[in-house]
Amino acid sequence: MSVSLKTERESALGPWVRNLRIYLELTQKEIAGLARVTPEEVSLLESNKPLSRDTKSRILKELCNKRVRNWEILSNC
């Protein structure tokens, strides 16, 4: 039995979120504050546990915004 592409992407999301958060030097508590969610919800996302689409979206949005701001700072050096 093969694994669907959607399932493979979903299972890769948690580690990607965790790695990006660490790269950006943010704690779970810090990104949770930015996204207005709980640190436990960040942990659930990083562990690929069930989480509402809205909560996932908030966390991902803040991580991507933070990444873009970091790149803008670096490009001005």
| CATH code for the domain of 17 | 1.10.260.40
Quote the pLDDT of residue 63.
95
**Domains held by the chain: number:** 1
Helix 5-23 to helix 39-46 angle, to the nearest 10 degrees? Answer: 130
Confidence of residue 68 (pLDDT cuts 50, 70, 90): confident
Query: Mean pLDDT for the chain?
Result: 87
Quote the pLDDT of residue 1.
47
Question: Which amino acid does the sequence have at 55?
Answer: T
Domain of 66, in residue numbers: 5-75
pLDDT digits (tens, 9 = 90+) for 42-61: 999 999 999 999 999 999 99
